[in-house]
Amino acid sequence: MPKVKTIFYCIIAVVVSSALNFMVFLESYKRLAFPYMHEEQRVENAPYIFLYILPGFVLIAIISLVLFKIIANNMNR
């Protein structure tokens, strides 16, 4: 039976990772697409938005990987 502490740490890691990814997306969208643009302009600029958002997602993925490794090491102790 899994330990409650292990499940709790995994849930915390998932929530933190999800929140960070959501914040990166919202901040990028707010700064790049929202102000002064019509829907048609947003669609035309989608590749540029993706170009700026993708590195943020990669950074968050690396941070999440490190976080999961730390949790895994703590579970093995």
Can you tell me the distance from the alpha carbon of 22 to that of 17, in angstroms, rounded to the nearest whole number? 9
Over residues 46-77, the pLDDT tens digits come to: 787 778 777 877 788 788 878 888 888 887 77
Which pTM value belongs to this model?
0.57
Structural domain tally of the chain? 1
HEC secondary structure over 55-67: HHHHHHHHHHHHH
Structure letter (DSSP) for residue 38: -
| Domain containing residue 34 | 4-76
